[in-house]
Amino acid sequence: MKKFIQSLPKVELHLHIEGTLEPELMFELAQRNNITIPFNSSTEVKEAYNFHNLQSFLDIYFQGANVLVHEQDFFDLTWAYLLHCKDDNVVHTEVFFDPQAHTERGICFATVVNGIHKALAKGRTELGISSRLIMCFLRHLDEQSAFKTLEQAQAHKDKIIAVGLDSTEIGHPASKFERVFKQAINQGFLTVAHAGEEGPVSNIHDAMNLLQITRIDHGVRCSEDQALIKQLAAERIPLTVCPLSNIKLKVFDFMKEHNIVDLLRKGLCVTINSDDPAYFGGYMTDNFLAVSNAHSMNKAEIAQFTLNAIEASFISECEKKRLKIMTQKYLDLHQ
C-alpha cells in the first residue's frame, strides 16, 4: 500500500505556500536578507513546532514569513515546494498565498505574486506540474485591508484564479468579508474559504451562504450537522481536508479518530491536502499514508481522494478528463 500511495497521481487543493518554509530555508533566507529570527538552529525551530492550537501555530508562521523579502525568496520558496510535489507525484496543485502577511510589513504585492508565479510557470515547463494560484485574505485583519488587497490584485488577474479566507476563525465571522467576496465574484474570481476547522459548524453554513464559495477548506466540523452532510454529498461541495494538520492543531487527538474516511464513504467530495507541511510534519504522500495507516481502506477508496480533488479543481473539463483517465489507469494497473 505504501508503494501504491507513493506513486499514485495526486492533486493538492489546500496548500499555503508560506507554510512550506522549511527550517533550513528559513535560516538561509534570514542570513541572505540579514534578518534576525528568534532561533539559533533549525533544530530549535522544529522544537517550536509543538503547537496546541491554531493561534500558537500562526504566531510562528508569521514570524517565519519575515525572512521573505525579495522576489527571488518567493521563487525559491515555491520551487522548493514544487520539488516536493515531484517527489510525491503531485500532478496539479492549487496554491494559497497571503499577500497581507507581506504587504503589512512593506513588501510590494508584485514582489510576492511574481516570485510565486515564476516558480509555478517553471514547474509547468520543467516538472510537468500544472498549478493555479489563490489569494487569501487574512480574517484577523479588517475589511478595509481585504478590499485594498483585492484592489492590488487587479494588475495580476492573469495570475490569480480565486480568492480565499484563512487565519483564525474564532472571533472573525464570514459576515465580516461578505462585501469583499461579492466584489471579488463580480470581478470574475472564484471563491473558497476556511471554515469548520477550529470554528463551529455554523461557520460552514455562513461561508456557503454569505461568501458563495465553490469549495470549503477544512470543513471537518460538518459531521455535527447531518442535514449539512446530506447537502454536501448531494451538491458535491468539496472539502479540502488536511489530516496531519488537524492532528497537529488538536482538531482530532489521533488519526484513527479523524472523520475523513467516514465522510468519503458517505459520498462527500473530500480531498487530502498538506496545508502547511513544513510546520505540520508532512507533504502529500505523508498525509495519504497517515490516513491509510489509521484506517482500513482499499486502493479504490484511496484513489478516490485524487479523483475527488480532480473534480474539485479549478482546471478545464478537458484537463480534468485527462487527469481522471491517468488516475484510473494507475488504479486499474494496481488493483
User: To 10 degrees, what angle do helices 71-87 and 284-294 make?
Assistant: 40
Q: Does the pLDDT at position 78 exceed 90?
A: yes
| CA 258 to mean position of chain CA atoms | 18
What is each CA distance from 230 to 61, 81, 223, 233, in whole angstroms?
35, 36, 10, 5
Burial 227-253 (b: 16+ CB within 10 A, else e): ebbebbeeeebbbbbbbbbbbbbebee
Which residues does 118 contact at the CB level (< 8 Å), separation at least 6?
A: 71, 75
Q: Which of 24-28, 148-152, 155-159, 307-311 has the lowest mean pLDDT?
A: 24-28
Cell numbers describing residue 208: 456557503
pTM of the model: 0.96
| CA 93 to mean position of chain CA atoms | 9
Phi, psi of 12 (to 5 degrees): -105, 130
- Angle, CA of 214, 218 and 222, to the nearest 5°: 90
pLDDT digits 0-9 by tens, 250-288: 999 999 999 999 999 999 999 999 999 998 889 999 999
Mean pLDDT score, 295-319: 98
User: To 10 degrees, what angle do helices 317-334 and 299-312 make?
Assistant: 170
pLDDT-derived band at 232, boundaries 50, 70, 90: very high
| Domains contained in the chain, number | 1
What is each CA distance from 243 to 26, 93, 193, 286, in whole angstroms?
24, 17, 17, 10
- So what's the pLDDT on residue 49? 78
- So what's the pLDDT on residue 40? 83
Cell numbers describing residue 308: 475527488
- So what's the pLDDT on residue 301? 98
Is 197 marked active-site?
A: yes
Which residues does 59 contact at the CB level (< 8 Å), separation at least 6?
A: none
Question: Please, are residues 140 and 167 in contact by the beta-carbon 8 Å criterion?
Answer: yes
**Summary mean pLDDT of the chain:** 95
pLDDT-derived band at 316, boundaries 50, 70, 90: very high
Residue 199: which CATH number? 3.20.20.140
What is each CA distance from 210 to 16, 109, 165, 205, 214, in whole angstroms?
23, 27, 13, 8, 12
**Range of the structural domain that residue 242 is part of:** 2-334
Q: Which of 18, 169, 197, 198 is catalytic?
A: 197
Q: Does the pLDDT at position 3 exceed 90?
A: yes
pLDDT digits 0-9 by tens, 12-49: 999 999 999 998 898 899 989 999 888 888 888 778 77
CA quadruple 322, 328, 329, 334: dihedral, nearest 10: 150
Give the percent of the chain with pLDDT over 70: 100
Q: 293, 299, 300: which is closest to 255 by C-alpha?
A: 293
- So what's the pLDDT on residue 52? 74
pLDDT digits 0-9 by tens, 174-199: 999 999 999 999 999 999 999 999 99
Question: Please, are residues 96 and 166 in contact by the beta-carbon 8 Å criterion?
Answer: yes
Q: Which is higher by pLDDT, 136 or 30?
A: 136
Q: Does the pLDDT at position 50 exceed 80?
A: no
